Chains A and B, each alone.
Chain A
């Protein structure tokens, strides 16, 4: 209790509160703008966090994370274009409501569903993350190695497109992490005589390039063919309680689906929202009206995609294993602040974690305030000209990359990663496994080499009953891989081109 009070006190500082309010407004706007999304929203503000204290900077990033997922629903409802992929299912019932002149009501359904989904997942996070961290304290290097194997397999396996390309992307990320000093001997690897490479490849420049710059380049190349529809401005109406009560089962089920999917590495909010939408369409009370502007469809999509936020933070905070690029950026923010996510996080930084949990609760509640007070204004931002927006994104992204270490080499890395990002999209290689591979690479190598030292160089000893957790995780990884391969083979038999360019 004392810890919680102390955390609340720290969170009530003007800087932390301002971070939550501004982060929520900014995240909602960026989330609503088609083509940007949570990763770009957070990377743009990273430089601002460098000079901030730990709690305000964490509150800022968490506020942007939650609100950007919600923000995507505004454009999905108003202009039939999801601001983020997470809101793709929202437009199925959101836009028909707008066409019927019920846009304000649709925003009300989406906002309250998002808040409930977010709060539900925060409750799960508060309960599950410390427990998981406590269990993971017993993990040795073999278990850690097995866990990362399982996470990477999952991320590569569920990436849209080809499993082989997903796998290769993961390997690329792991390989990029080997650039620089060898963790055991200090020998410099793959620097090719370039001094800056001897320090390794930083995550942020790679991430900014793969996501922000690649998005700008792709949109520049597509501009003639993809005009943004005219924006409608809309207010916010709270639907009556009786209407909610009729749809309570979908609300609860979607929150549970979103949180569970969020915990699984590599899946993410878009998967969760489509699963929840399909489930509501199968079992919902108003399933016959789905697709015609039925609020139950909105509830399913928006509750689940916001419930992913808390779920995805469970493995990120408790195990130090981010499940997607967004949580990888969140994790980077913690690392920049000198906080290492992982099994020791809750033991060593209890105050900070309590503050983060409270910040998450406040961020979710703030969504309600921001939507109620400013949805008419926020939705006007959707009419901002894309060229102006993308020019600002390029400048702010490059400033963010430069700010990590204060050197121009990172700007060069960002540019190269941007070009690579465009090539990967064109070829259909998912970039999320590259980012996760880069984040997990050092700990993956360390755990592998430590494990081999413990077992006198025997890989066989990893798969014995003396390491039951590791054995279970390896088995799960093998199952996931077999499932992904079977799905791909079935896909190859069904259609001519099983992969499509995507992020």
Chain B
């Protein structure tokens, strides 16, 4: 994608977002309580920010029309989407089956997604790293990570 096109799309998205957030501030909860807000209701400051946000977005669109086209830096969308999907799935699984049960398969899978292919190292890291982190957190550091619904201790 060209940088100018990319910036135009970004400016339009941000302009749209500022409009939607402005609409949100028109809801009754933003009127506040006059006795408490001294004439500056809860939407006063966000509206200033949204005004500047919209103005800067317009300037970004205008600027994108003025700069010459150049090719934007490309990423491999396939690898990006797969890595995001695996991390997203992991985040969800941590809450459902607990930290330890989710982290063990994630560790192996994510190394493979990133292109690592040494089974012995992968197996060792997959077995030791999640258990080590879990032990360190719930033991010495007393930070209790999400537990599975099937076991009492992890």
List chain A positions with a Cβ less than 8 A from chain B: 47-48, 50-51, 162, 164-165, 167-168, 171-172, 174-175, 178, 182, 184-190, 192, 213, 216-218, 220-224, 385-388, 390-392, 394-396, 398-399, 402-403, 406, 408, 411-412, 414-415, 418-419, 422, 426-429, 445, 448-449, 452-453, 457, 492, 496-501
Contacts and interface: CB of A to CB of B under 8 A. Distances in A.
Contacts of B106: 391, 394-395
Contacts of A414: 91
12 contacts: A167-B56, A171-B53, A184-B36, A185-B42, A187-B29, A217-B87, A223-B79, A408-B95, A428-B3, A428-B7, A496-B70, A498-B67
B84 A187 contact: no
Contact of B46 (A190, A222, A385, A418): A190
A217 to B, nearest CB: 6
B75 A222 contact: yes
Given A190-B24, A216-B83, A452-B40, A221 B75 contact: yes
Nearest to A452: B40
A46 to B, nearest CB: 10
Interface residues of B, number: 76
A422 B66 CA distance: 25
Contact of A185 (B36, B46, B52, B67): B36
Given A168-B53, A175-B49, A221-B79, A386 B94 contact: no
A398 B107 contact: no
A187 B42 contact: yes
A133 to B, nearest CB: 27
Interface string B88-101: 10110011000100
Given A221-B83, A426-B73, A497-B3, A406 B144 contact: yes
A445 to B, nearest CB: 5
Given A221-B83, A419-B84, 20 more contacts: A51-B142, A165-B60, A172-B53, A175-B53, A185-B32, A185-B37, A189-B29, A220-B79, A222-B76, A390-B110, A391-B111, A402-B94, A403-B143, A408-B95, A422-B75, A422-B84, A457-B39, A497-B3, A497-B67, A499-B3
B51 to A, nearest CB: 10
Contact of B143 (A47, A224, A498, A499): A47
A168 B56 contact: yes
B49 A171 contact: yes
B16 to A, nearest CB: 14
A387 B116 contact: yes
Contacts of B32: 182, 185, 187
Interface in B75-128: 75-77, 79-80, 82-84, 87-88, 90-91, 94-95, 99, 103, 106-107, 110-111, 113-116, 118, 121, 125
A427 B63 contact: no
Contact of B40 (A216, A221, A449): A449
6 closest Cβ pairs, A-B complex = A387-B114, A496-B68, A387-B116, A497-B70, A220-B83, A182-B42
Contacts of A499: 3
Interface in B40-66: 40-46, 49-50, 52-53, 56-57, 59-60, 63, 66
A399 B91 CA distance: 10
A51 B103 CA distance: 23
Nearest to B1: A426
B30 A217 contact: no
A10 to B, nearest CB: 21
Given A220-B83, A427-B10, A189 B30 contact: yes
B132 to A, nearest CB: 10
A390 B68 contact: no
B6 A427 contact: yes
Contacts of B68: 496-497
A411 B91 contact: yes
B91 A415 contact: yes
A283 to B, nearest CB: 36
A164 B91 contact: no
B113 A399 contact: no
Contacts of B66: 492
Nearest to B134: A399
B139 to A, nearest CB: 11
A174 B33 CA distance: 23
Nearest to B78: A221
Most buried by A among B44, B49, B118, B133: B49
B145 A399 contact: yes
B73 A496 contact: no
Given A184-B36, A220-B114, A415-B88, A392 B52 contact: no
B46 A50 contact: no
Contacts of B76: 221-222, 224
Nearest to B40: A449
